[in-house]
Structure 1
């Protein structure tokens, strides 16, 4: 009789396979889709996402608290609607799975088809769990009002179901569309926010009937004979100017890169280079920083609501931080507010820059973008640093002259850019603009490389 204990890894694999087998699955197309069909699917899903953002949660109080306002652009969320959680469960599940894999808590063979499938299935399973777990936290925190248990469960089911739809729509875009659903939802949410603040003709009763949109508001003031270039708590032309400026700076940083010269170790005379973007860790450091601030804010509200001390944070009726540590983790939005409280702006800027630099270094280590891992990939590719013998230690030494410095400087740059954009109340928020530019530029590069792109359009994009 064999009394050997079962292999824990095989047990966990069976549990994961059982759990993922219960999830709704989007089948991949049987054959490769044309570029036109991919773009059509992405367009349809984007329209559905925007419609979901207009469907309110049934049964909530008239005014919902937006506990995720810190990271609204990052999560592509709209408080009080079916996309209240946005891509939060997806992003959180992805971060956890990367940490689990990097720390070797769970091991998935990402070089095999079966290993990648199990990794993606596990991530989806975790995302579905987080849909309803985060929904429960959001509702029990009183974001939609204080109700009985039955009504709160009804609210949780609506919020969780909306987040589940986002998970499934992301999978549809990944398999049937162009790019990824996460990227599409972020760009769509930021574009919608900017468009609304630019062109909305809705009148604000709290501001004497002024139009919310910057351009309609300016025209309205011109017709009255007193042009308003700066408006309190409403989009104005100064914010439009800074939005364009931040957008141009983000595009400039996105196109900056340095190149490590390489040559083939097998064929003499063949040379190339390994490009290192200035924003080497992309905008991930900003995403993680804002996520930490948002999560901390949620915890602070929980603690202060039960044990009020005022040290961690105090909030006004609209949920804005007016004191405590949270006061310095939220930016003063608007030039006038920065002038009124420059110390708060400076402290916020320093904290964001430090966090962004830290997360940039952490991210490249977790995701295998550090010098050692990149050197191994270059070595396996059969190339070497131009002018040096083929030795992985030489490659790593040369990369160490560039990657750590570029990583930290890039993290500092995106931290400063996001903070300054928030200080100027740039439309779409600084984080949103950075994300939109980074994602759009990457999609533009992918579109240029697509062999089905018509030649005349390809020339325009070039």
Structure 2
């Protein structure tokens, strides 16, 4: 028996959630989704038993963006977040695309078997995550075993919570729901957190921006100083960040509903309307730009520590500066100019830095968006997308002189991809400069995941709402 057939036999043994015998009403779906969310959010706040927990500090997390996407929380039951359901889904799609596994779409049991295979891979990923903790701990104790069991059990629970949602009991898929929930919880926490944090050589302050604002107004006699502190305090969420977030959310929602209408001539000389939504080209550049940008930072920092005297290394980046927490920051080189200006005043102090930063973000987002469109076209996704929109918007009327031929749609869609990438760059720059909670990318991911259900396009939603 081959290893491939053994894998499928093993996948068939994995238990699964039963599909509903009858249609689930929206009210029931809402209840099931609320229960799943309650379990997920509670687990994300329960600390692992057996770990020595450090007091809360305001030192920035270098992996904050990764934790945000994976819906993970350090030192809690959800230390791995949605890794156990995201990695298997990505792997299976890659294997299908590379034809490592072949699927018979006509067979009704294919979907069931693929779901079981993803759950089996998820369990294997959960086991690897638990083993990874043992490797990092470098010693085998009872505490280590308890922590490994907690991590393994929580990851398996996340797998089956996702299975409950996928079987039609919930409103969204697990990946989209958990990521959007984690981002929303982070935003609410930064705004209304009652936890106090210690700033070096200063008195404790409330972490939440709104709570800190109220506390400062109640405890300080100088109300103007209290307002200034609440609005402009550094290294902690402030009211300016809160207001910026409130402004950025409707802006992200606005771009979700923005589309271009193209009148297209069909073969029978009738006219159809093709709706090209900019949101299809907007969020790929945002996510990929955020994921790829740290790579030159990491490479430059590692090289500078070892070869600080090398001219090429210094050209890439000089890391002689320190922030408030003693962490090194670039003060020169290419990576310095790719870094977001810390405050708006820096735009006036160093306009060349601001110009290079803005140009880099806009150009890179445009090329990423067009590259994604080329990849989609080569895989046959492009044609299916256009035909779907034409069928939905077909009108029984004769073609007008200003209509375009169906063969010219590709050129116009590429232009739309260019515009979408440019808009993505503008949103990234705007979010970075005004300092929104959880970054503009996180907010856009949350909006992307939830907006299709308001817009009536729930069947189109995949991972992260795409």
Bin of the TM-score, shorter chain as denominator length: 0.7 to 0.9
The one of 218, 231, 239 aligned to 2:241: 239
Summarize the Cα distance change of 1:376–1:215 in structure 2 as closer, same or farther, 3 Å threshold: closer
Quote the Cα distance in structure 2 between the aligned partners of 1:58 and 1:337: 45
Q: Which residue of 2 aligns with 1:409?
A: 419
Quote the Cα distance in structure 2 between the aligned partners of 1:29 and 1:358: 45
2:205–2:212 CA contact under 8 A, matched in 1: yes
Q: Which residue of 2 aligns with 1:166?
A: 158
Quote the Cα distance in structure 2 between the aligned partners of 1:136 and 1:299: 28
Quote the Cα distance in structure 1 between the aligned partners of 2:334 and 2:151: 30
Deviates more, 1:85-94 or 1:188-197: 85-94
Q: How does 1:151-190 map to 2 (within 5 A)?
A: 155-175=147-167, 176-190=169-183
Q: Which residue of 1 aligns with 2:283?
A: 283
Q: Which residue of 2 aligns with 1:322?
A: 329
Quote the Cα distance in structure 1 between the aligned partners of 2:390 and 2:289: 34
Q: How does 1:232-381 map to 2 (within 5 A)?
A: 232-261=234-263, 273-281=273-281, 283-292=283-292, 322-323=329-330, 331=340, 335=344, 353=362, 356-364=365-373, 365-366=375-376, 370-374=381-385
Quote the Cα distance in structure 2 between the aligned partners of 1:436 and 1:427: 12
2:263–2:273 CA contact under 8 A, matched in 1: yes
1:132–1:157 CA contact under 8 A, matched in 2: no
Residue 109 of structure 2 corresponds to residue 114 of structure 1: yes
2:452–2:458 CA contact under 8 A, matched in 1: no
Per the TM alignment, residue 363 of structure 1 is displaced from its structure 2 partner at its CA by 4.3
Residue 79 of structure 2 corresponds to residue 87 of structure 1: no
Residue 60 of structure 2 corresponds to residue 75 of structure 1: no
2:366–2:418 CA contact under 8 A, matched in 1: yes
Q: Which residue of 2 aligns with 1:201?
A: 194
The one of 35, 48, 52 aligned to 1:44: 35
Per the TM alignment, residue 290 of structure 1 is displaced from its structure 2 partner at its CA by 3.3
1:199–1:213 CA contact under 8 A, matched in 2: yes
1:82–1:158 CA contact under 8 A, matched in 2: yes
The one of 424, 429, 437 aligned to 2:439: 429
1:166-207 Cα offsets, whole Å, 9 max, x none, are 222111122211121222212211221111111223232325
| Unaligned stretches of 5+ residues in structure 1 | 1-5, 450-462
Quote the Cα distance in structure 1 between the aligned partners of 2:362 and 2:337: 13
The one of 443, 448, 452 aligned to 2:453: 443
Q: Taking structure 2 as the reference length, what is the TM-score of the superposition?
A: 0.75
Per the TM alignment, residue 116 of structure 1 is displaced from its structure 2 partner at its CA by 3.3
Q: Which residue of 1 aligns with 2:462?
A: none
How large is the RMSD of aligned CA atoms in angstroms? 4.4
Summarize the Cα distance change of 1:424–1:381 in structure 2 as closer, same or farther, 3 Å threshold: closer
Summarize the Cα distance change of 1:379–1:210 in structure 2 as closer, same or farther, 3 Å threshold: closer
Quote the Cα distance in structure 1 between the aligned partners of 2:126 and 2:364: 27
Deviates more, 1:122-131 or 1:343-352: 343-352
Quote the Cα distance in structure 2 between the aligned partners of 1:69 and 1:387: 55
Quote the Cα distance in structure 2 between the aligned partners of 1:296 and 1:137: 27
Quote the Cα distance in structure 1 between the aligned partners of 2:62 and 2:349: 25
1:279–1:407 CA contact under 8 A, matched in 2: no
Summarize the Cα distance change of 1:317–1:155 in structure 2 as closer, same or farther, 3 Å threshold: farther
Per the TM alignment, residue 67 of structure 1 is displaced from its structure 2 partner at its CA by 5.7
Quote the Cα distance in structure 2 between the aligned partners of 1:436 and 1:138: 30
1:376-405 Cα offsets, whole Å, 9 max, x none, are 66799997997679xxx952x232132212
Summarize the Cα distance change of 1:222–1:383 in structure 2 as closer, same or farther, 3 Å threshold: closer
1:111-153 Cα offsets, whole Å, 9 max, x none, are 653333344333333333333445655775x5xxx54255666
SS of residue in 1 equivalent to 2:456: helix
Per the TM alignment, residue 434 of structure 1 is displaced from its structure 2 partner at its CA by 0.5
- Count residues in correspondence: 428
Quote the Cα distance in structure 2 between the aligned partners of 1:109 and 1:158: 38
Summarize the Cα distance change of 1:375–1:46 in structure 2 as closer, same or farther, 3 Å threshold: closer
